[in-house]
Amino acid sequence: MKEIVLEWFICAIAAAVLMIVHELSKAIVYMGIQKTRGNKRKYTHSIWEVHRYLDPVGIILAITSSAAFSKPFMFRIQDKKVNRILGITGFAVLLVCFIGSVAALNMHLFGVSGMTTLENRGDVAKIITLFIQYIAILSLGMLVTNLFPVSTFDMGLLIAGASAQKYLGIIKMDAVIKMIFVVAVFTDLISYGGYRFLALVLR
């Protein structure tokens, strides 16, 4: 039971780190764009208040279904180009996290490789390796989650960057889209596909 709780804790920490990296990267890009445009608008909260990016439901889903999502900094974005840039940034950051964690596992850090070689290893090696493994599986799961055209997800930003009319369409279909996402989560499609794909790339 102690090991299971420790795994849950490591998974939750990995999910929190990914949420912060994912949303903070987009926030930094957004503020950089605003600065280059000479926009000195003041925001109620700082982008560095990273606890605001943590979504409790997303952390629970990370532990149970490997399908995490984060809480975005609520900017009012009316520029299509900025929406596209932020959407691409979100996907790119998750992809880099996935590729980087897989590369770290393939480098056999602490002599540990893959998903099933943690027996008879020290506690530090186990914790670090589990953390990297969860970064890999959760970054992939979060990337898949953000492919759903929910208005606040990365795909929603890309759609907003393509057409205001289409963005309005996904807002109207929000309940249906979220229901499809819930079905994908509860049928373990995201988790199963993610673990299969990760096992494939770690061969």
> How confident is the model at residue 39, as a pLDDT?
75
**137 near 66, Cβ under 8 Å?**
yes
What is the span of the domain harbouring residue 113? 2-201
> How confident is the model at residue 88, as a pLDDT?
95
pLDDT means per 10 residues, the chain with 203 residues, are 83 96 93 82 78 93 90 77 93 95 80 52 76 93 93 91 88 92 89 82 74
**91 near 27, Cβ under 8 Å?**
no
**72 near 146, Cβ under 8 Å?**
no
**195 near 140, Cβ under 8 Å?**
no
**pTM of the full predicted structure?**
0.88
CA separation for the pair 141, 14 (Å, rounded): 12
10 Å Cβ neighbour count for 163? 11
**35 near 28, Cβ under 8 Å?**
no
CA separation for the pair 143, 95 (Å, rounded): 7
CA separation for the pair 127, 175 (Å, rounded): 38
> How confident is the model at residue 74, as a pLDDT?
72
Tokens matching residue 176: 């249906």
Domain count within the chain = 1
DSSP 8-state code for residue 114: S
> How confident is the model at residue 200, as a pLDDT?
82
